[in-house]
């Protein structure tokens, strides 16, 4: 068939740009939180992640989803997950960038912020492969409770070599680790777990157990080892569960099925049964929940970073489309209503980036009392607010592309992939109510209110809208009368912190627009309701991908 007409007014895909070099908001956040940090690794990573061939790998890893192979051709139980080669390419690059356990062994200043910025950039390309990367990052410090394992595993968890082979971990160049916490009957209430661990002697790795039970969400089942919760005689304990035992035999981890998920398609999430699986105690017996909560701080940081990265990519796609697409005689981005929507999205994206990177700074300074207190406060606040905003953000950005944003093919399919991915970080590692309750627990700490006041102090007097919020917060923190108010409090603390950070790091036009809209009442209930007198062109130019 012959063509009926020439195709025109269809935007070119966003490809070939440097994700870091054009991310001005991230650069300003790094200037504030990590002065003197060498940006060269981030620029190099940004160029790689924006390239056409890496975008192709991201698409293929999602189109060709993981496949469970429970048995080999002869009927032997194997419990393996088969991935498309593009998945392994993405994992190779994430590990090479040191986004997993590397910062814990770096010894360099700002190592966790460097890693956080890289994690955010990688999320723009493909978020779902970062599940095992994030868990490896989170479990690494927890192994300090088992010096023998920490000494043996530590260098391999920090290694920048990705090794996908299913062999005993002492024979591998690099390792990844996962976690197994939730069960069918309990979900976030891990105290309802029923998995049981029976003492099975001692060996070179310490106290050994045989675990029988199940896990309802067991993500990244092809990791080399896992930290799990199971009941010993002393209560819920944290156990190290290798995938392959020292003699080369497979541990008794039976993968029942892979989850059929809304998004996160490149990552394998599974249900498993333990049939007397071998595991070793990590930390104090009966203190597993406390140990897991420490890891939760780090995985929740990654939820905030990941959603911030997805926001940035969705915004970039919307800006790329609207600056090329013509409607009613001029580019979409020149239409007043579209300018308002895009500028509003840009403010939301920049504020998310600022808050997530501030949390990463707290992880870099565990020796400073203020930063320890801020990690306790910021973790639930950032996880709650940034991740809650993600889905609405993605829907609005998708609408900027019209019907093109809703299709799955070609470069446009990235927006649909982002939309499916957005709810995950809000649900995973503690949904909104869990985060709100965690905030209340953090605020009951003796130094919490003082830490928040100290954090906001540099922005005092810089904007009247923020000053009004800061005046009301102490009274609200003293009352803490009802959990029914916890979500509102999490929202207001998040907005106050975001405003304070932008007033210190962003241009005046950005900070003023954020304060007037989010704190000053000059805003509606949907994106695109900013005051009409703002400098929209300046806001859009700052956010533009290049």
> Hey, is 446 helix, strand or coil?
coil
Q: How far apart are CA 278 and CA 240, in angstroms?
A: 9
Domains of the chain: 24-72+81-141+150-158 (no CATH), 169-285 (2.40.110.20), 290-543 (1.20.140.10)
- Which residue would you say has higher pLDDT here, 189 or 468? 468
Alpha-carbon gap, residue 185 to 386, rounded angstroms: 28
pLDDT tens digits, 231-249: 999 999 999 999 999 999 9
Q: Percent of the chain at pLDDT above 90?
A: 86
User: How far is CA 72 from its chain centroid?
Assistant: 35
The encoded tokens of residue 284 equal 């104090």
Q: Give residue-wise pLDDT tens across range 408-429.
A: 876 667 999 999 999 999 999 8
Please say if the pLDDT value at position 1 is more than 60. Answer: no
Which residue in 54, 91, 84, 79 sits closest to 66, CA to CA? 84
- Using the predicted structure, report yes or no on whether residue 209 has a pLDDT greater than 70: yes
pLDDT above 90 for 67: yes
How far apart are the C-alpha atoms of 68 and 80, rounded to whole Å? 6
178 closest CA partner among 241, 89, 127: 241
SS3 content of the chain, % helix, strand, coil (to 5): 55, 15, 30
Half-sphere exposure of 516 (CA within 13 A, CB side): 15
**pLDDT, tens digit, for every residue of 257-310?**
999 999 999 999 999 999 999 999 999 999 998 887 778 789 999 999 999 999
CA distance 343 to 34: 27
CA–CA dist 8, 356 (Å, integer)? 40
Residue count (the chain): 546
Residues of 108-134 as b/e, b for ≥16 C-beta within 10 angstroms?
eebbbbbbbbbbbbbbbbbbbbbbbbb
pLDDT of 266 = 96
In sequence order, the β-bridge partners of residue 232 are 235
CA–CA separation, 417 and 420 (whole Å): 5
Per DSSP, the three-state class of 258 is strand
This prediction's pTM: 0.96
Token couple for 260:
């059929």
Q: Report the candidate in 299, 494, 527 with the shortest Cα–Cα distance to residue 394.
A: 527
pLDDT band, very low/low/confident/very high, at 483 (cuts 50, 70, 90): confident
Distances (CA, A) of 7 to 3, 10, 319: 9, 7, 21
Residue whose token pair is 């005993």: 168
- Of 412 and 433, which is predicted with more confidence? 433
Q: Which of these, 82, 168, 110, lies nearest to 365 by C-alpha position?
A: 110
Give residue-wise pLDDT tens across range 309-356: 999 999 999 999 999 999 999 999 999 999 999 999 999 999 999 999
Q: What does residue 327 show for φ and ψ, rounded to 5 degrees? A: -150, 130
Q: What is the pLDDT of residue 411?
A: 60
Burial string for 335-373 (b: 16+ CB within 10 Å, else e) reads beebbbbbbbbbbbbbbbbbbbbbbbbbbbbeeeeebeb
Q: Supply the DSSP string of 277-323, one letter for each residue.
A: EEEEE-SSTT-HHHHHHHHHHHHHHHHHHHHHHHHHHHHHHHHHHHH
The band of 200, judged by pLDDT with boundaries at 50, 70 and 90, is very high
Where b means 16+ CB within 10 Å and e means fewer, 449-458 reads: bebbeebbee
């Amino acid at each position: 068939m012959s063509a009926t007409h020439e195709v025109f007014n269809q935007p070119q895909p966003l490809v070939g740009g440097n994700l870091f070099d054009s991310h001005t908001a991230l650069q300003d956040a790094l200037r504030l939180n990590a002065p003197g940090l060498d940006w060269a690794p981030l620029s190099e990573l940004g160029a790689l992640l924006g390239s056409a061939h890496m975008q192709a790998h991201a698409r293929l890893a999602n189109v060709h989803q993981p496949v469970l192979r429970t048995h080999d051709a002869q009927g032997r139980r194997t419990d393996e997950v088969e991935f498309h080669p593009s998945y392994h390419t993405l994992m190779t690059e994430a590990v090479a960038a040191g986004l997993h356990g590397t910062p814990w062994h770096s010894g360099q200043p700002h190592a966790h912020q460097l890693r956080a910025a890289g994690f955010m950039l990688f999320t723009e390309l493909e978020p779902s492969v970062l599940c095992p990367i994030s868990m490896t990052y989170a479990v690494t410090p927890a192994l300090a409770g088992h010096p023998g394992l920490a000494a043996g595993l530590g260098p391999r968890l920090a290694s920048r070599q990705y090794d996908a082979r299913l062999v005993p971990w002492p024979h591998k160049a690099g390792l990844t680790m996962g976690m197994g916490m939730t069960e069918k009957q309990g979900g976030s209430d891990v105290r309802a777990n029923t998995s049981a661990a029976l003492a099975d002697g001692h060996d070179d790795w310490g106290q050994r157990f045989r675990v029988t039970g199940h896990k309802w969400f067991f993500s990244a089942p092809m990791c080399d080892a896992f930290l799990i919760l199971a009941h010993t005689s002393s209560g819920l304990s944290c156990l190290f569960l290798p995938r392959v035992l020292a003699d080369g035999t497979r541990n008794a981890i039976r993968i029942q099925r892979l989850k059929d998920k809304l998004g996160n398609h490149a990552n394998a999430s599974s249900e498993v049964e333990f049939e007397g699986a071998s595991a070793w105690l990590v930390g104090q017996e009966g203190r597993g929940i406390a140990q897991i909560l420490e890891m939760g701080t780090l995985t929740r940081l990654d939820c905030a970073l990941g959603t911030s990265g997805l926001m940035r990519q969705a915004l970039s796609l919307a800006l790329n489309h609207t600056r090329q697409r013509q409607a009613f005689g001029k580019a979409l981005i020149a239409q007043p209503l579209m300018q308002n929507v895009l500028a509003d999205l840009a403010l939301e994206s920049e504020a998310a980036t600022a808050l997530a990177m501030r949390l990463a700074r707290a992880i870099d300074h565990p020796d400073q009392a203020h930063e320890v207190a801020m990690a306790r406060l910021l973790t639930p606040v950032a996880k709650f607010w940034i991740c809650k905003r993600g889905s609405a953000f993605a829907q609005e950005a998708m609408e900027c592309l019209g019907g093109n944003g809703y299709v799955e093919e070609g470069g446009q399919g990235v927006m649909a992939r982002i939309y499916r991915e957005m709810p995950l970080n809000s649900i995973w590692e503690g949904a909104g109510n869990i985060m709100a309750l965690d905030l209340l627990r953090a605020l009951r700490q003796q130094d919490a209110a003082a830490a928040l006041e100290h954090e906001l102090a540099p922005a005092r007097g810089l904007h009247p809208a923020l000053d009004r919020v800061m005046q009301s917060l102490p009274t609200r923190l003293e009352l803490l009368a009802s959990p029914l108010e916890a979500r509102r409090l999490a929202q207001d603390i998040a907005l106050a912190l975001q405003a304070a950070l932008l007033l210190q790091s962003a241009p005046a036009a950005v900070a003023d627009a954020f304060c007037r809209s989010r704190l000053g009442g000059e805003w509606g209930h949907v994106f695109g309701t900013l005051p009409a007198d703002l400098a929209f062109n300046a806001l859009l130019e700052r956010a533009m991908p290049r």
